[in-house]
Amino acid sequence: MFKRLVIVASTLTFVAATAAACGGGSGGGGTSLGFSQVGAESGWRTANTQSIQDSAKDAGINLKFADAQQKQENQIKAIRSFIQQKVDVIAFSPVVESGWDTVLKEAKDAKIPVILTDRAVDSKDPSYYATFLGSDFVEEGRKAAQWVLDTYKGSNETVNIAELQGTTGSAPAIDRKKGFLDLIGADPKFKIVASQTGDFTRAKGKEVMQAFLASHQKIDVLFAHNDDMALGAIQAIEEAGLEPGKDIKIVSIDGVHDALQALVDGKENYVVECNPLLGPQLMDLVKKVKAGQPVDHRIVTTETTFTPEQAAAALPQRKY
Ligand code: GYE
């Protein structure tokens, strides 16, 4: 009992100290942020959630976190509940691009600023959100395609490509496909022979790859819109008695630990990075937006690419 009292007392002291430290105008003290996350579908998403939770804590921002389990209706419900609770700022990562105008207008009418993180919406009215912080997904698709072009440079043979798409209707699935096709489409030797959604998960990636292998004799390259689907596909390829990275070359997007390991193990060939560690930048934006300071309407995160050699060098420091 005594021990418990001591813990409670020291926790209270800590909370008071934190509140005092963050109580100034530029701190997060007293700021509430409602955040609606897509789900927990991938390694990228887990790292993104962790980053947001950690940096909210560091910034002294009171985070109300809701997991939508990949369902738009859950995100809309969460946003409405944040409006009712009168949070200072709402942020969310929209699972799909369309269908947000009504709820975004509700937030605007309630004078609660909205920040988009990671994924975009297709709303025509730019005043529905203060800023969009996230990657350039078209560019990521182009980088993946550039690697395919470089790999088959000088060869005249047909290259059969299978594509595992992300969640149907999501910004990264739409944009990565577009960026990839922008470059690949210019040369008729590249043929996309199979293309289906694997919903950004390992399980679906494996299942869809099994179906691709059953219905296609020759697949030279797999382009997966994220690492988790590629990792699932690697299992399917191995179970079919083929060697991933050799019989079928693989390029995917994200740069999570397991994919870098697959590169080092020779089971993948190239990974395009998409940075999930958006938390610190998001918390800065939350404070600025709450204080009525101007922010850029679009903030693009910077990212790299990984060959097996670069993956080997990066792996020891990779936190996710
Ligand atoms: O690539 C994927 C995740 O929106 C950028 O969502 C994100 C994507 C990421 O499920 O792994």
DSSP calls for 26-55: TS-TT-EEEEEE--S-SHHHHHHHHHHHHH
Q: What is the pTM of this model?
A: 0.91
Residue 12 pLDDT exceeds 70? no
- Please tell me if the CB atom of residue 226 comes closer than 6 angstroms to any atom of ligand 1: yes
- Stated as kind and residue range, the H or E segment containing 289 is helix 279-290
- Please tell me if the CB atom of residue 31 comes closer than 6 angstroms to any atom of ligand 1: no
- Please tell me if the CB atom of residue 273 comes closer than 6 angstroms to any atom of ligand 1: no
Q: Are 195 and 224 in contact (CB under 8 A)?
A: no
Percent of the chain with pLDDT over 90: 90
Percent of the chain with pLDDT over 70: 91
- Please tell me if the CB atom of residue 254 comes closer than 6 angstroms to any atom of ligand 1: yes
Q: Walk across the sheet containing 298-300 and list its strands.
A: 62-67, 32-37, 89-92, 114-117, 131-134, 298-300
- Please tell me if the CB atom of residue 274 comes closer than 6 angstroms to any atom of ligand 1: yes
pLDDT in tens, 96-151: 999 999 999 999 999 999 999 999 999 999 999 999 999 999 999 999 999 999 99
- Please tell me if the CB atom of residue 140 comes closer than 6 angstroms to any atom of ligand 1: no
Complete domains list, the chain, with CATH = 29-135+276-301 (3.40.50.2300), 137-274 (3.40.50.2300)
Question: Which ligand 1 atom minimizes the distance to the CA of 134?
Answer: 5
CB atoms within 10 A of CB 315: 14
Ligand 1 center from residue 177 Cα (angstroms): 13
Which residue do the tokens 């990636």 mark? 205
- Please tell me if the CB atom of residue 200 comes closer than 6 angstroms to any atom of ligand 1: yes
Q: How far apart are CA 312 and CA 70, in angstroms?
A: 33
* Exposure class string for 281-301: b at 16+ Cβ within 10 A, else e: bbbebbbbbbeeeeeeeebeb
Ligand 1 center from residue 257 Cα (angstroms): 14
Residues contacting 13, CB < 8 A, separation 6+: none
Residue 5 pLDDT exceeds 80? no
Quote the mean pLDDT of the chain: 93
Which residue do the tokens 């060098």 mark? 313
